[in-house]
Amino acid sequence: MHFHRQSAQVSLALLIASTITFGMLVLTLVLVGQSFRGMENAKATAAADATHQLTVSVNDRIRAIIEPTSVTLTLLSHDPLTRASSLDARLQRLPVIADALRQNDIVSAVYTGYDNGESFLLRKVRSSGILHFPDAPQQAWFLLQTMTLDDTGTRIGEWRFYDRNLQLLRQERRPDYNYDPRERGWFKAARTTAATHVSEPYVFYTTRELGLTLSRQAAGAADNINSNGSVSGIDVTVSDLSRQIADLRQTPGSRIAIINREQTVLAYSHPDRLPARTDQEDPLYHLEEIPDSPLPMASGLADSERAERFTLAGEDWYGMTAPLTTLGPEELTIVIAIPADELLAEVWSALARQTGIASLIALVLLAAGWMLGRRVGRPLEQLTDRVSSLSRFRFDTPIRVDSRIREASKLSIALDDMAGTIHSFQNIATTLNRGQDLHTLLGDILDQIIHILGQHRGAIYLFNRGNGELGLATTHNLEGPKTIPDIRPDSDDSDIIRSLRGPFSGHPVFAILRNRKKQLVGTLIVEMEDGDLSNISDDLAVFVDEIAGSAAVAIETRELIESQQALLEGIIRLVANAIDAKSPYTSGHCERVPKLAQMLVAEATQARDGVFRDFQLSETETYEFHLAAWLHDCGKITSPEYVVDKATKLETLCNRIHEVRTRFEVLHRDAEIRYLQDCLAGGDQAGARTRRDQEQRQLQEDFAFIAAANIGGESMDDDAVARVHQISSRTWQRHFSNRLGLSAEERRAFAAAPEARLPVTEPLLADRPEHIEHWGERVPPVTRDDPRNRWGFDMDLPEHAYNRGEIHNLTIRRGTLTPEERFKINEHIVQTICMLDALPLPDWLSNVPRLAGTHHERMDGRGYPCRLSGDQMGIPERIMAVADVFEALTAVDRPYKEGKTLTEALGIMATMVREHHLDGDVFNLFIRSGVYREYAREHMKPEQIDEVDEARFLS
């Protein structure tokens, strides 16, 4: 390596600047931390002050609720109502107490209880926005509940409903109303004092509201002057306390509650978060019942001058408690919990500002330290030497800078070399990891190695184990032979290098490529033209050898991947060919459908307008579709051949029409025998002959009809079906046992019924129990409610696996397949999905089962096996369906139909589009692109290829 000469240099001492800056940063952090702690404490103290102020505010609000009501109650204790002894006299004071209710929204009821157990109570029908008496008249505003005694001392309860102007709306006796004020706590408490008594907060029985009861003896009751011992009371609701304390929150996330000594919640700042209650439940909540609330932990904190910090569910809170003194003996407490992040939001903002200022100061100090330390740089020489030790080869990344500082200059050179080395290794790693094609991979590897070494020519040879020679795989401006023969696979590296020196002159460097098993893979050759060619260092040789080793592993891996992919492709084609070879009537189907489908996909990806303008498949998706197309019918390998190839209705493994014909032969011969017997008996020969001829002629006609029905070429109408049943009712006699010469499976079919006594009379055609093959334990998981169905199949499952009944088969309305056989054929798609789903496919091939298993679905959701609609299928799946239908219509190797012409096939497919069987957009693309003509020229007979009027089918 050559170092650029520079003029005299001075030292650089970054250490000084770093030390100064670090010291200032530590000092700044300490000061900021102390500042944060101080602000945090100040915030906590301020929160406690705010809590005590909140307590004062709540006390004031409670006092504002109680004091006006207490004044009203005092006035009421002097009212004539307290001394009225009759209901009429009391009713005259109704406007007075009605005014008390109208003028104060928080007053729920005003009432007076008398010493004899009578009572006079006026309440609002609607309070706190809630209608408490749903059966009240529509205009009702007040409800007067009275309890009086008649002359016999009988208690009479009455309810009167009044409108806002005290017009009576309805009056009714209430035998169930048996209110006795003397039994109430407010009555008893008021009798013990001459002052106003305030009850503890509780839930009103009638309205279920939270409130207080203020009660007071009638004026003069304490001295027994002009008083009958009555007590007046006023119910005051405190339901809006929750809303009021919500308005007093310090932060949006603060939680506030007012509780009593039993920790019952009387008010809560977030009432919408309380769990729902039924009508029968106590509407009051215990503090522990509030979900996800920090208040239970905060309630355990003692009242103090500052907030205390605690953690709940990973979130920090500040908690405080303070007593409420307004209600005296009730011992109410206000509990507050404030989220730490909200309380300290301003603290963090101030901390951020201080940190910014400290950072700016640190930058200024760094610049000053940098200027001061420029003259001191000796400690950096060791670091420079270490970094320079990495710089053994030349890399061309331009990082070098000119400097009068010796250490900085040497460091820039080392970093320049190191950066170039790292960059080159990155290129090598990218090439090894991302290379797909082996030839391209080898070319990229060679280019990178030549670039790393700073040379211009090189080549890679791969070993051919079969020929025992090295063949040229790729070259970069290096002239050499195409092959190097006589290379043994067990040769060591030195022998191989000696064999290579002959064809290559100059100063080449050789690296032998071996795989993980140390087997010979090939060789790398680099012509060394630049640098000191007389003394190639050992470090260079080791470096080239290590790079070559990585290249060998990459080559081996790529060859393995390509061979595995080729193996997978071969197995897929093997399965497809096996399916086609299984039946002579479907040969070529599994090969033709993929070709047609891929032709359509290619046209869809090239479309620049319409629904396909944005349709594109990546290379991986294209290969995934290719595999799915080849495997779209792999489930047919499980379909019984005699069902797939069933050409007549009575065909199973053989055509059972011959068995039926034998029975007709027996009946024909029986007619001949009866004729001869009549002749021998001396009967009327002419009449016997006529009967014989008529019977035999009918047998000929009936058999001809049955034989024609067996073909299944035309659809059967009701008359034809009825004639089959009529013919089947004819009987014949069997003289031989039907239990002899049977297989084990056939014997099991007969096991359910005993053998009939011979000879036995049987119908000419019959559906017998032995014709039924039950599912047993082989029920396929195709119904939605089957717990084994994890693929979403939704098919109609026939009652039996097979029904080979003769009448059942001969009365097939169209074609030759029974519903059971049709299901068995359709089941091939179920087996396709199950088989492919069972394969350990990689993630990038995970859609193969779906792509292969949806070509029998319909756009209207009436297809199978999952009843998917068009919206649930992608373009590749719709293309597969079109390709499968067109190939099936035009194929000439089916036993049950002839191949259609192009016009016939496209006409049928156009009808299927109108019936929402096939996708119209794919069908239009199929016609416009001319794919159908291209396919026809290669795979259809000339007589099938007619002139097509494309406009007739395009929509």
pLDDT tens digits along 54-83: 676 667 666 766 677 777 878 888 888 888
Q: Is the dihedral of CA 440, 445, 451, 457 positive or negative?
A: negative
Among residues 806, 655, 649, the alpha carbon closest in space to that of 713 is found at 649
Of 306-310, 398-402, 630-634, 783-787, give the lowest mean pLDDT range: 398-402
Same CATH topology for 78-239 and 435-564: the answer is yes
Bond before 865 cis per omega within 30 degrees: yes
Give the per-residue pLDDT at 237: 79
Give the per-residue pLDDT at 395: 47
Burial class of residue 413 (count of CB atoms within 10 Å of its CB; 0-12, 13-18, 19+)? buried
pLDDT band at 872 (very low <50, low <70, confident <90, very high): very high
Give the per-residue pLDDT at 436: 59
Residues 6+ apart with CB under 8 A from 561: none
pLDDT tens digits along 613-646: 989 988 888 888 888 888 888 877 777 877 877 8
Would you say how long the chain is, in residues?
955
pLDDT tens digits along 4-19: 454 445 444 555 556 6
Long-range contacts of 21-25, Cβ-Cβ distance < 8 Å, separation of 24 or more: 21/362, 21/365, 21/366, 21/369, 24/361, 24/362, 24/365, 25/358, 25/362
Structure tokens at 378: 């000796």
CATH for the stretch 435-564 = 3.30.450.40
Q: How far is CA 587 from the centre of its chain?
A: 41
Structure tokens at 385: 């030497």
Angle, to 10 degrees, between the axis of helix 875-890 and the axis of helix 589-606? 130
pLDDT band at 48 (very low <50, low <70, confident <90, very high): low
* pLDDT value at 385 more than 80: no
Of 62-71, 433-442, 470-479, 682-691, give the lowest mean pLDDT range: 433-442
Give the per-residue pLDDT at 64: 67
Question: Given the structure tokens 């910014």, which residue do they identify?
Answer: 356
* pLDDT value at 390 more than 50: no
Between the alpha carbon of residue 104 and those of residues 207, 236, 606, 816, the distances in Å are 17, 9, 80, 91
Angle, to 10 degrees, between the axis of helix 875-890 and the axis of helix 920-928? 60
Q: Is the dihedral of CA 778, 779, 780, 781 positive or negative?
A: negative
Of 302-311, 450-459, 505-514, give the lowest mean pLDDT range: 302-311
Residue type, 809: N
* pLDDT value at 477 more than 90: no
Q: In a 3-state reduction of DSSP, which class is residue 279?
A: coil
Q: What percent of the chain has pLDDT over 70?
A: 74
For 327, list phi and psi in degrees, rounded to 5.
-95, 10
**Helix or strand (DSSP H, E) at 705:** helix 685-711
Q: Are the beta carbons of 657 and 717 closer than 8 angstroms?
A: no
Structure tokens at 702: 């009936």
For the ranges 301-305, 352-356, 762-766, 836-840, the maximum mean pLDDT occurs at 762-766
* pLDDT value at 399 more than 60: no
Euclidean distance between CA atoms 881 and 872, whole angstroms: 14
- What are the helix (H) ranges across 177-266? 185-190, 241-247
Q: What homologous superfamily is domain 583-640+843-953 in, according to CATH?
A: Hypothetical protein af1432 (1.10.3210.10)
pLDDT tens digits along 118-145: 999 988 888 766 777 888 898 888 989 9
Beta bridge partners of 526: 458, 509
Full DSSP string of 125-178? SEETTEES-TTS-TT--EEEEEEEE-TT--EEEEEEEE-TT--EEEEEE-TT--
Q: What percent of the chain has pLDDT over 90?
A: 14
Give the per-residue pLDDT at 661: 92
Q: How is the chain split among helix, strand and coil, in percent rounded to 5?
A: 50, 15, 35
Full DSSP string of 358-427? HHHHHHHHHHHHHHHHTT--TTHHHHHHHHHHT--S----------SBHHHHHHHHHHHHHHHHHHHHHH
Among residues 178, 136, 181, 132, the alpha carbon closest in space to that of 160 is found at 136
Among residues 411, 415, 383, the alpha carbon closest in space to that of 398 is found at 415
- What are the helix (H) ranges across 279-389? 295-299, 340-343, 345-373, 380-389
Give the per-residue pLDDT at 834: 87
Q: Are the beta carbons of 255 and 336 closer than 8 angstroms?
A: yes
Dihedral over alpha carbons 261, 263, 265, 268 (to 10 degrees): 110
Angle, to 10 degrees, between the axis of helix 902-914 and the axis of helix 920-928? 150
Q: Report the chain's mean pLDDT, rounded to a whole number.
A: 78
The stretch 272-298 carries a mean pLDDT of: 70
Euclidean distance between CA atoms 548 and 515, whole angstroms: 10
For the ranges 11-20, 198-207, 324-333, 457-466, the maximum mean pLDDT occurs at 457-466
Euclidean distance between CA atoms 83 and 683, whole angstroms: 133
Structure tokens at 697: 């002629």
For 238, list phi and psi in degrees, rounded to 5.
-120, 25
Q: Which CATH architecture has domain 78-239?
A: 2-Layer Sandwich (3.30)
Angle, to 10 degrees, between the axis of helix 619-630 and the axis of helix 538-582? 30
* pLDDT value at 876 more than 90: yes
Euclidean distance between CA atoms 802 and 750, whole angstroms: 15
Of 313-322, 683-692, 702-711, 740-749, give the lowest mean pLDDT range: 313-322
Q: Where are the domains of the chain?
A: 78-239, 380-419, 435-564, 583-640+843-953, 657-810
Dihedral over alpha carbons 747, 749, 751, 756 (to 10 degrees): -90
Higher pLDDT, 745 or 937: 937
Of 189-203, 352-366, 841-855, give the lowest mean pLDDT range: 352-366
Q: In a 3-state reduction of DSSP, which class is residue 871?
A: helix
Euclidean distance between CA atoms 708 and 484, whole angstroms: 75
What is the distance between the terminal CA atoms of the chain, rounded to a whole angstrom? 75
Give the per-residue pLDDT at 194: 80
Question: Given the structure tokens 């809590």, which residue do they identify?
Answer: 51
- What are the helix (H) ranges across 473-537? 493-501
Give the per-residue pLDDT at 882: 93
Among residues 408, 525, 403, 553, the alpha carbon closest in space to that of 461 is found at 525
Bond before 759 cis per omega within 30 degrees: yes
Euclidean distance between CA atoms 145 and 207, whole angstroms: 14
Residue type, 297: M
How many Cβ atoms sit within 10 Å of the Cβ of residue 30?
10
Give the per-residue pLDDT at 379: 47
pLDDT tens digits along 349-369: 766 777 777 677 767 766 666
Q: Are the beta carbons of 790 and 849 closer than 8 angstroms?
A: no
**Helix or strand (DSSP H, E) at 108:** strand 107-113
Give the per-residue pLDDT at 160: 93
pLDDT tens digits along 851-860: 888 889 999 9
